[in-house]
Amino acid sequence: MLTLIDQYTAFEDKPIDQLAGLVVTSTRDEEIKARYVVYCMFLIKENMEPLLMGALSVLDQCFSRHSYLIDYVDGKLYGHILRLMRHPQRQISVAALDVINTVAYFSDGICDEMMELPTSILDETYNRLVYESRQPRQ
Amino acid sequence: MDAVKKDVPVHVLGELEDEEYHPSEEQDEPIGQAEVDVVMRLLKLADRLHLQKFSMQSMVLILKMLWNVYVNNYHQPSTHYPPEEGMEILRLWLRCINKLLHSAHSALMRTHLEELGLVTTINSLIDIAPKFHLDIHQ
């Protein structure tokens, strides 16, 4: 773990919400882009709470503009994104939904990990983010 | 289908299986833009996952909700909503309807469309979709 953190020390002096712009516009080096993606996946896997929103945003923008970066996705990431879709903060749930939506768009939704998502996941997200919010408050 | 039902929260299934459920009552309830945004994200993801990760019950609720949003907000002569947003809703809505009408859920889907008085409209829209560059088969 220390090795991994050491590896990304160079990124940690930058606010995570500024990383997306750096990655998609300023950085031409594909290896650096890939490292940003891996870094964000690391933040998500380790549940670095204050940085989750930024990490999801970076991933979504990276995948949207550079779809080849999806190749760097570790299959286990879907499990972590799934957990974030259940996050109590609505904006994190929606950001997680955006990431998985973008990945599904570029991978045609047919990758094995995606199809292994629980059958009820979209129902559950719908119920929590839309249906329940429309019910009269007690 | 039973496996799907097992995972769906009871309060959604209960409404649809309960004869006291009246879809028309839902039509008058306003729906916020944040809810529309989430519904669109969910429906896009469902579409990309070949409609396999959504129960038919939730799908029908969402399609009804989106139709009402389209009719009430976008399909008005004096609407201030951007037409491209309305077109995106209509395109996604039609594509999902079309897929469902050609799936094992065709009969159920047709029943719900009849409830909304939309069978003729849908057939017409699907026929004319290509003329308006609505590629509903993708």
pLDDT, tens digit (0-9, with 9 covering 90-100), for B39-85: 999 999 888 888 877 888 888 888 888 888 888 888 877 878 888 88
The predicted-structure confidence for B15-49, as pLDDT tens digits, reads as follows 334 333 344 444 456 678 888 899 999 999 888 88
Residue A104 pLDDT > 90, yes or no?
Answer: no
Q: CA torsion angle for B1, A96, B26, B122 (degrees, to 10)?
A: -70
ipTM above 0.90, yes or no: no
Cα angle vertex B58, ends B135, A107, to 5°? 45
Q: Rounded distance, CA B123 to CA A65, Å?
A: 37
* Selection from B38, B137, B70, B132 nearest residue B97 by Cα: B137
| Pair of tokens at residue B38 | 């989430």
Using the Cβ of B42 and the Cβ atoms of chain A, whether some distance falls under 8 Å is answered with: yes
Q: Which residues of chain A neighbour B41 with C-beta distances below 8 Å? A: 94, 97-98, 101
Query: B54 and A122 in contact by Cβ < 8 A?
Result: yes
Q: How far is CA A127 from CA A54, A88, A108, B9, B39, in A?
A: 25, 13, 25, 8, 10
Helix, strand, or coil (residue A21) = helix
pLDDT score of B13: 36
Query: Is residue A111 a contact partner of residue A117, using CB atoms and an 8 Å limit?
Result: no
Question: What's the pLDDT at A35?
Answer: 78
Contact B46 A122 (CB under 8 A): yes
Instruction: Give mean pLDDT, residues B107-123.
Output: 76
Task: Indicate if the pLDDT at residue A95 is higher than 80.
Answer: yes
Note whether A109 and A75 are within 8 A (CB): no
Least Cα distance to A38 among A84, A7, A15 occurs for: A7
Q: H helices within A46-138, ranges in order?
A: 52-65, 77-85, 90-106, 112-115, 121-126
Picking from A26, A18, A59, the residue whose alpha carbon sits closest to that of residue A42 is: A59
Average pLDDT of span B117-124: 72
Q: Does B119 touch chain A (CB under 8 A)?
A: no
Task: Answer whether B39 sits within 8 Å of A126, measured CB to CB.
Answer: yes
Neighbours of B31 (CB within 10 A): 18
pTM: 0.73
What pLDDT shows up at residue B97? Answer: 83
How far apart CA A75 and CA B97 sit, in angstroms, is 31
Other CB atoms within a 10 A radius of the CB of residue A19 amount to 22
- Burial annotation A68-79 (CB, 10 A radius, 16+ → b, else e): ebbebbeeebbe
Separation between Cα atoms, residue A34 and residue B24, nearest integer Å: 50
Residues in chain A: 138
Question: Residue A11 above 60 pLDDT?
Answer: no
d(CA B64, CA A35): 43
Is residue B28 helix, strand or coil? coil
Return the H-helix or E-strand segment holding B12: helix B10-17
